Chains A and B, each alone.
Chain A
Amino acid sequence: MQNSTVSSSKKNKLKKITNSKGFSAFTAALLAIFLGLIFGFVVMVVASPANSLSGFEMVLIGGLNRLGDVLYFATPILMTGLAVGFAFKMGLFNIGASGQYTMGMFFALYAGFMWDLPGSIHWIVCVLAGMVGGMLWGFIPGIFKALLNVNEVITSIMFNYIGMYLVDILIQGNAVMYVSSKTRTAYLPATAQLPSLGIANSNVNFSFIIAIAVAVILYVVLHKTTFGYELKATGFNKSAATYAGMNGKRNIILAMVIAGAMAGLGGAFAMLAPSTIAGSSMTYEPINVIAANGFTGIAVALLGSNSPIGIIFSSLFISYIQRGGTLASLYGYKAEIIDVVIAVIIYFSAFAMLMNATVIKLLKKRRDKKYLKIIADVPDSNNSHQIDKKEGA
């Protein structure tokens, strides 16, 4: 028995990488992307056959010429992706990332315009303010869910609207922040803008590094701490978590607050980015539209299978393909085409997860079969040992 277990554990080590959850999620994502791209190409052929090849080439490799932009646009959706993915680890569907993101933008803008602080700390305060804004908008659905068991999907959808209209009203009513002739916010003071990373012709800035660091921290929280242990246990099996005495209510609120903080940071990063044109900055237009980056976050989280590390890569990929899509407009393609392609990729990622699961299951069953054979041989001999012992004693 000893020998057989040893040899099987050796085999398992070899197969460990290919059998791990992360690996299957990765191959599923790749398969999804592949199928999505093929379908995207078909869409482009239908839309405009003559330009389809060169257009598709742009989608595929266009992003390479704009790597700085890829990183820049990846940052906010990386954060909203984390906002969705982290909550989902606990079984909460945080569809309110848009609202939290919008609140983050507003809080960051407010700190940027209204508070006069020295340049070295101003942008840091603005970032933190944005985080607090998002936390607030995560906290409220969290409280409702924990104490009154109101479905977080409903509350957070409503808070998307409440947040968006509230922010639009507040901005339009503030003469310092709002330039009514241009229907947008004024340019932020330079002290409130994030330090640039200095890549030519790109807005990429320090926030990308913060975002990666935050994703790594979340990974550590999820996998190395008691809080992460409780969170995942609750996500997998709520009843068992209750049985083990975990404080479900506190954890729900905490998870939603952290998720909100992520989206809020995303909003702050989007607003506080430095502009390549001196004297200008990013602006917010209060035009009663819910922030799209919040919903893109759902796609990012799904493609990254809710893992913080996976989300880093999926946000980069989606940003990359979006840049390529923008460039495809050079060949007369509407930007919406690329939205279709991205939507298809997301659709296939759900589908591919399923396909992948079946493939993995088949492989596992084959392995289990071998293992069962080992087991079937073992207990008999083992039991007879026990009896021998009894008789001996």
Chain B
Amino acid sequence: MEEYIIEMLNITKEFPGIIANDDITLRLKKGEIHALLGENGAGKSTLMSVLFGLYQAEKGEIRINGKVAKINNPNDANDLGIGMVHQHFKLVEIFTVLENIILGVEPNKLGFLQKKGAREKVLMLSEKYGLKVSPDAFIEKISVGMQQRVEILKMLYRENDILIFDEPTAVLTPQEIGELMKIMREFAKEGKSILFITHKLNEIMAVADSCTVLRKGKCIGTVSIKDTTKEELSRMMVGRDVIFKVDKKNAEPGDVVLSVRNITVSSETHKNNAVKNVSFDVRAGEIVCLAGIDGNGQTEFIAALTGLEKLSNGSITLCDRNITKASIRTRSKSGMSHIPEDRHKYGLVLDYTLEENLVIQRYWQPEFQNLGFIKGQAVRSYAEKLIEQYDVRSGQGPITAVRSMSGGNQQKAIIAREIDKQHELLVAVQPTRGLDVGAIEYVHKQLIARRDAGKAVLLVSLELDEVMNVSDRILVMYEGEIVGELDPKTTTVQEIGLYMSGAKRNLVKEVENAK
């Protein structure tokens, strides 16, 4: 009989209105990397929170090394040797790396902090596992990759031997992901056991030994990676076949629709410019993707492009019309549609109904108002049309409060609204963020349909799969500059990664000449 270090048996966790975990069993062997796969909302995080003591399960039991354990809070979990790297790091920004690592288990003598021993231990661990950190750097000053290494060192410092990684690769470059995989394998070799939460199949195939799949709160099954394929896993995760390769024809770029020249945007958070001298064109019938690691100026650039922020220098031309200083409404009228990055902050008025949100870009048009009075009937039938056409699902149709809708359907509503509005350029910023596989497929199809209809599409994405599959041309942004223009047909994920991390750059000669 095999020995399990952790057994979560028949775990059921119910929240008001939803069963997040329904009779789930998960067994983790000593020294294995066990992936936990599922779409958003499948119950992965809930299950891990139960294990980590953040929630108490209604039914089921947890056994550690065969003994029933009662985990009431994260401290209990820590005592049992369970450590977790959260998706959103739990670090004190204004503390140093060392201070963060010892936080909660500070070595002290009569209440005075004893950092010397701690520093030696941290340096030793960092040396041993190749986790490069500088102990005296402040968290707010170091890269996301290093912050993650700090989180890992925190677990090692506490001598945890069951490590939980919650979506650890979302914020990393391909190179950093490679390093992380190597470190995880190193841990496993040493006899530490790893639970790896993700929805990225490639990573599971690359690093995990076995995989448990959740769907809608239920356990679909546990498989050994040796005996399975990516397709098999995705079918288990989604419940149907998923097409990985996005089907599309070659692009037939037409006239220049959007042309930006020497855009510079100052940053709110630091002295340097967030966007530096960015110039490029987007033509009708092509999807141009602005790739890069989060925080390299994409958000600021889009804000300047769409009129949410002022730019300090440069010019924007949309359909031969200079819109550098135009209001948001004028930009919209000139043919710009914008699927915003943050759909709750910008995309929707959550307290409005679905129909009110569907006309938020158009309520002022004669079609929907007469002398300032909104034509309720026109709004209703327009909303019904969009809901039908774009398959937006909701509880009560046009009068559903948008707040009560699922993320995927909220995004569908925004996409329907922005696509149905007259436009020449579609700016889509991370349109698939937080969506499940099915919805992602839908969004990609819509973007390509726009391209095929002869519209220009500017896509901003952090997901490399999306960048590679959907775009016709890739512009990589690093520290506010465009450092490379790549063709997705000839480039590789690794090459994009080098540009994203600033290790490589090619000057975009075409655009330079066009100036």
Contact = CB atoms under 8 A, between A and B. Distances in A.
A242 B349 CA distance: 11
B393 A375 contact: yes
B372 A240 contact: no
**SS of A interface (majority):** helix
Contacts of B65: none
A365 B16 contact: yes
Given A362-B16, A366-B17, A371-B395, A229 B346 contact: no
B347 A243 contact: yes
Interface in A193-251: 224-227, 229, 232-233, 236-237, 239-247
Q: Could you tell me the dominant secondary structure of chain B's interface residues?
A: loop
B372 A226 contact: yes
B239 A225 contact: no
A40 to B, nearest CB: 34
Interface in B375-403: 376, 393, 395-397
Interface in A264-282: none
A229 B307 CA distance: 22
B352 interface: yes
A224 B349 contact: no
Contact of A243 (B241, B340, B373): B340
B372 A225 contact: yes
Contacts of A366: 17
Contacts, number: 92
Interface stretch (B98-106, B269-277, B289-297, B324-332): B324-332
A8 B360 contact: no
Interface string B307-340: 1100000000000000000011111100000101
Interface string B412-434: 00000000000000000000000
Interface residues of A, number: 35
Contacts of A368: 17-18, 395, 404
B240 A240 contact: no
B49 interface: no
Interface in B222-264: 239-241
A8 B395 contact: yes
Interface stretch (B75-83, B151-159, B361-369, B463-471): B361-369
Contacts of A383: 239-240, 438
Contacts of A247: 327, 329
Q: Which of A226, A232, A368 has the most CB of B within 10 A?
A: A226
B318 to A, nearest CB: 14
A243 B404 CA distance: 22
B445 to A, nearest CB: 12
Contact of A369 (B18, B239, B347, B374): B18
A213 B348 CA distance: 33
A229 B349 CA distance: 11
Contacts of A233: 349, 352, 356, 360
A376 B216 contact: yes
B369 A242 contact: no
B351 interface: yes
Interface in B61-95: none
Nearest to A240: B349
B345 interface: yes
B365 to A, nearest CB: 10
B125 interface: no
A243 B17 contact: no
A373 to B, nearest CB: 10
A211 to B, nearest CB: 23
Contacts of B395: 8, 12, 368, 371
A369 B17 CA distance: 4
B349 A236 contact: yes
Contacts of B16: 362, 365, 369
A384 B328 contact: no
A114 interface: no
Interface of B: 16-18, 216, 239-241, 306-308, 327-332, 338, 340, 345-352, 356, 360-361, 363-364, 369, 372-374, 376, 393, 395-397, 404, 438
Given A237-B345, A245-B327, A376-B216, 16 more contacts: A224-B376, A226-B374, A229-B374, A236-B350, A236-B351, A237-B351, A239-B345, A240-B345, A243-B308, A244-B361, A245-B329, A365-B16, A366-B17, A369-B17, A384-B240, A387-B240
Interface of A: 8-9, 12, 224-227, 229, 232-233, 236-237, 239-247, 362, 364-366, 368-369, 371-372, 375-376, 380, 383-384, 387
